[in-house]
Amino acid sequence: MKYTKEHEWLRVDGDLVTVGITEHAATQLGDVVFVELPEPETMVAEGDEVVVIESVKAASDILAPVDGEIVAVNEKLPDNPGLVNEDPLGAGWFFKMKLDDVSVLDDFMDEDEYNELIG
């Protein structure tokens, strides 16, 4: 797994990446009550707003961590946004994307580096 400074995780499988938020981020957000997902087959660039999350504390955007194409979304989240809190590293994933360039993943943190970031 790779991690971003924005508290997203990326599970890498070849040129396919599954994206979600970390347990730390889910805890900071509080109970998630709404998730708006992108459409599959959407091309995104790094930094594009891809997912909208609303919790009891705040509204947040999940940004595309890399350039690529959204190839799948977690269809369970709109009806059960609490999955983000219940299982942020598993069932609470947001989308899968096919990367334009897998070498960009070298720029992200590993688990030890992420744990150091959050202290």
Q: Is residue 19 in a domain?
A: yes
Residue 102 has pLDDT above 90, yes or no: no
Count of structural domains within the chain: 1
At 100, the pLDDT band (50, 70, 90 cuts) reads confident
Q: What does the CA dihedral 38, 83, 104, 44 come to, rounded to 10 degrees?
A: 0
Domain with residue 90: its CATH number is: 2.40.50.100
Question: What Cα–Cα distance (Å) separates residue 79 from each residue in 1, 25, 56, 111?
Answer: 27, 21, 16, 30
Q: Is residue 107 in a domain?
A: no
Tokens found for residue 58 = 């705040």
Tokens found for residue 60 = 């947040």
Taking only the tens place, the pLDDT of each residue in 28-80 is: 999 999 999 999 999 999 999 999 999 999 899 999 999 999 999 999 999 99
The domain of 40 spans 2-102
Q: What does the CA dihedral 42, 102, 89, 73 come to, rounded to 10 degrees?
A: 20
Q: Are 66 and 100 in contact (CB under 8 A)?
A: yes
The pair phi, psi for residue 24, each rounded to 5°, is -60, -45
Tokens found for residue 96 = 């899968």
Secondary structure (3-state) at 89: coil
Q: Is residue 112 in a domain?
A: no
Taking only the tens place, the pLDDT of each residue in 33-45 is: 999 999 999 999 9
Q: Is residue 114 in a domain?
A: no
**Rounded average pLDDT over 82-88:** 96
Q: Is residue 16 in a domain?
A: yes
